Amino acid sequence: MERHYHATAMQTQVDPVLSISGQAVMNLSDDSAFLSMATRYNASAERDIDVGYDHFLGDAAGAATDFVIMPGSEYGIFPRSLYVNLWWYF
């Protein structure tokens, strides 16, 4: 298990119904990182909409043996992702 990380996060309320957040997690042992940005819109009293983007940095290539595939870095093996979450409270 890795132990050398640095993480930073922030969130700001743009107006009463819109917030923006971001975070970065860096693995200092293998120089890989996870970056995330998201925005949340409060559509009504019972509904929220999140839109976000996750970006992963690092070496995707690694070593392979007969039974184990080792990634080049912790975060380098993941693809970028764009997502939408719909929250409905009842």
pLDDT digits (tens, 9 = 90+) for 55-78: 999 887 766 666 676 777 888 888
Whether the predicted pLDDT of 54 surpasses 70: yes
Range of the domain at 13: 5-88
33 band by pLDDT with thresholds 50, 70 and 90: very high
Cα separation, 73 vs 58, in Å, equals 6
Average pLDDT, the chain: 89
Look at strands 69-70 and 63-64 and give their pairing.
antiparallel
- Write out the E strands in 16-89: 18-27, 32-42, 47-57, 63-64, 69-70, 81-88
Instruction: For the chain, give percent helix, strand, coil, nearest 5.
Output: 0, 60, 40
CB 84 within 8 A of CB 49: yes
Residue 90's pLDDT band (cuts 50, 70, 90): confident
Domain count, the chain: 1
pLDDT at position 74: 83
